């Protein structure tokens, strides 16, 4: 399992989550509109959830249905196969 960053991060990108992640698995690139969590590096500690001022981060199994596409995107952006 992993945690997923969804729509609320878009154009916010304040990186508060990056500061609390113990394994540095939250990545940013200038050309990205949001940050992404590398699913194979995330240890599911949940610390980033409370750090996010816009509630953009969810455990993978709790991503709201309307943002389901963000789950796949958090995998494909790292060239990983998204879950079924």
Chain residues binding ligand SF4 by CB under 6 A are 3, 5, 9, 12-17, 20-21, 23, 25-26, 35, 37, 42-48, 51-52, 54, 56-57
CA dist 49 and 22 (Å) reads 13
Q: In the bound complex, what is the minimum distance in angstroms from residue 14's beta carbon to ligand SF4?
A: 4
Give 58's contacts (C-beta < 8 A, 6+ positions apart). 3, 4, 6, 49, 64, 67
Q: For ligand SF4, give the closer residue by CB, 46 or 76.
A: 46
d(CA 40, CA 52): 21
48 or 63: whose CB is closer to ligand SF4?
48
């Amino acid at each position: 399992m992993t945690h997923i960053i969804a729509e609320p991060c878009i154009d916010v990108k304040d990186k508060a989550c990056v500061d609390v992640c113990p394994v540095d698995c939250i990545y940013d690139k200038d050309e990205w509109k949001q940050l992404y969590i590398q699913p194979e590096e995330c240890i599911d500690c949940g610390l980033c959830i409370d750090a996010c001022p816009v509630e953009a981060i969810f455990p993978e199994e709790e991503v709201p249905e309307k943002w389901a596409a963000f789950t796949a995107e958090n995998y494909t952006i790292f060239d990983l196969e998204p879950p079924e």
